Structure 1
Amino acid sequence: MTIKLIATDMDGTFLRDDHHYNQRRFKRLFRQLQKRNIRFVAASGSSFPRLAREFQPYVDQMDFISQNGSVIHHGHKFLAAYPIEVTALERVMHILDRFYGPQDINQLVVSGPTTSYVDQQMDAKNFAIVKLFYERVVRVPDIRQVFSEYPDERFTKISINFAPHIDLNRVAAVMDGYLPPSLIVENSGFNTDLIGNAQGTKRNALAVLQHRLHLRDDEIVTFGDNENDLGMLAMTSRSYAMQNANPVIKLQAAHTTDIDNNHDGVLETIEQLLKNDY
């Protein structure tokens, strides 16, 4: 069956642990994808500006699913977003304040489609990490007041990076008990949870692109390594969990890559698929 779209998660999947990828190999492979009219989609928990930086030479020939599916771009063109109601955002902040203190949270990031916000009290080390994943970041006097400070912003995601002593399974249990039904919490790796509109998932965002391109499920190939990739992996019979993924993720995907993210696992698999595709 002919491949018409390839969607891949970024960190822990397409990118090495040092957050880079094999530029030369990708350039060669991307030319092959274009010749075959195969769309390449970057699907990540981080922001569109970060993804646009990673793929700067190819932006206008790609699609982007950012913030775990809350924001969708076709090249630089904004397609759709799944915003969060302000009352729901305030509810999340209340829950965090009730159950967790400053020693429990390293990074708290509130994002709109292209701009992310952090508290001005965030230290330089954590701010540098946030900039790596979100690119366009604004410090605000009080992150809990960001909703009233930016009333015209369409907030789409809250990212919480917890300290190592926090068990994310317990976080999920707390959130499931207190979050409004309109919101979903997903683990994005690196001890980070992303909270957003329940409709803003990678699977739903990919379905938007699928509908635009009139694609069948079996014309799509997906790659992932974490919980937030499960929906995307489950939608097609041509899904791949990374060799370095958690065993639970591997069980949900149709296939597992032969090699891990640090050794071009995605690119190697795509090359093999193109050799066998017809």
Structure 2
Amino acid sequence: MSGLPRLVATDLDGTLVGADGAISDRTAAVLRAVEARGVPVVFVTGRPLRWAADVFEHVGSHGLAVVSNGAVVWDVAEERARLERPIDPALGLEVCRALRAAVPGTTYAVEDLDGIALEPEFLERYLVPEGSRRAPVEELFDRPALKLLARHEELDPQDFWSRAEVATEGRLVITWSSSTSLLEISAPGVTKASTLALLCDELGVAAADVVAFGDMPNDLPMLGWAGTAYAMANAHPDVLALAHHVAPHHDEDGVAQVLTGLFGLDEV
């Protein structure tokens, strides 16, 4: 990257957001200072829209966020999807059958802009919105989905991911960002990186002028694409190995510390 970044792309959980689930006052102030310099801050998260919206107040006046691991570009100001990249139901069900045959005990949920629908056996770790459908995946996947979730209660995340990659033969994009065995599955070619690249092309920003922050395997494509990549000190080993630099721990306002130095901001 020559000169200052022209766009900041940051993951949320484990990166910008503290262990308390909030963006600190210090980090929020730094994001505002960066935005005031005309540099967009884009949240690029695996969170579905319903969770990402909790922190949208911090994305600045441009109001753009990439959610569901790249399945959606959300226009915060206009409260609408600017781009959707969903999974075709036929392909999704084909992958579900293949994965469940190879890894018995796999359960599924599907997400769209309206919320989440889950199989009865799918044990969600977070509060499920009231009225969420519970049914076999063959009934749930009756329209395009932004993300398919696969969970296993016995395998560890790395093992589940590895076995799923073999079973599904690259037909969909599989990643994970959880400490539990929860796989996040997207449409072919859909990653944080590919959607961020589309957005940056629209904004006239080159990859070389993007600084990106992340901590988990679902951030790997984005960090590999960005001109400058920071792994958080608390990041997964694969992320630490890929990134150009290491930022302080997310509970130490690591993103804010780095941005303060990059942009020569006054400490807040």
Amino acid at match of 1:140: R
In the alignment of these two chains, the number of paired residues is 259
Give the match for residue 85 of structure 2.
82
Stretch of structure 1 that moved more, 265-274 or 174-183? 174-183
Distance 2:211 2:80 in 1: 23
1:59 to partner: Cα distance: 6.8
What's the CA shift for 1:48? Answer: 1.7
- The match for 1:246 is 236
Give the direction of change, closer, same or farther, for the CA distance of 1:238–1:50 in structure 2 (3 Å limit). same
Shift of 1:130: 4.9
Match of 1:19 in 2: 21
AA matched with 1:84: I
Percent identity between the aligned chains?
22
8 Å contact 1:203–1:235 — kept in the other structure?
A: yes
- Could you state the TM-score of these two structures normalised by the residue count of structure 1? 0.83
The whole-number CA distance in structure 1 between the counterparts of 2:254 and 2:93 is 40
Which residue of 1 is the match for residue 158 of structure 2? Answer: 169
Residue pair 2:9, 2:213 contacting (<8 A) in 1 also: yes
Name which of 196, 208, 215 aligns with 1:206: 196
> CA offsets per residue over residues 183-223 of structure 1, 9 Å max, x none?
11112232321111121100001101110111122221100
Q: Deviations over 1:117-146 (max 9, x none)?
A: 1235666xx36x154xxx687223434311
Counterpart-to-counterpart distance in 1, 2:253 and 2:27: 10
CA contact (8 A) 2:4 2:263 kept: no
Are 1:186 and 1:193, in contact at CA under 8 Å, matched by a contact in 2? Answer: yes
Distance 1:121 1:162, change over 3 A: closer
Contact 1:187 1:228 in 2 (8 A): yes
Shift of 1:265: 1.0
Q: Offset of 1:166 from its aligned partner?
A: 0.6
Note closer, same or farther for the CA distance 1:206–1:136 as it changes in structure 2 (3 Å cut): farther
State the Cα deviation string for residues 90-125 of structure 1 (Å, max 9, x = none). 123323443232xx65xx3201244221235666xx
SS, match of residue 61 in structure 1: coil
Q: Secondary structure at the match of 2:193?
A: helix
C-alpha distance 203-130 of structure 1, shift in aligned 2 (>3 A): farther
Aligned twin of 1:10: 12
1:185 aligned to 2:174? yes
CA 1:57–1:17: 2 relative to 1, 3 Å = closer
CA distance in 2, matches of 1:207, 1:10: 18
CA distance in structure 1 between the aligned counterparts of 2:131 and 2:159, rounded to whole angstroms:
29
The reply on whether 1:224 has 2:214 as its aligned counterpart is yes
Distance in 1, Cα, partners of 2:118 & 2:196: 28
Task: Provide the residue aligned with 1:117 in structure 2.
Answer: 117
Structure 1 residue 52 displacement after superposition = 1.4
5+ residue gaps in structure 2? none
Aligned counterparts, 1:42-57, within 5 A: 42-56=43-57
Superposed displacement of residue 4, structure 1: 1.7
- TM superposition shift of 1:172: 2.8
Residues 59, 275 of structure 1: alpha-carbon distance in 2 compared, 3 angstrom cutoff: closer
Larger helix proportion of the pair: 1
The aligned residue for residue 158 of structure 1 is 148
On the 8 A contact 1:13/1:266 being kept in 2, the answer is yes
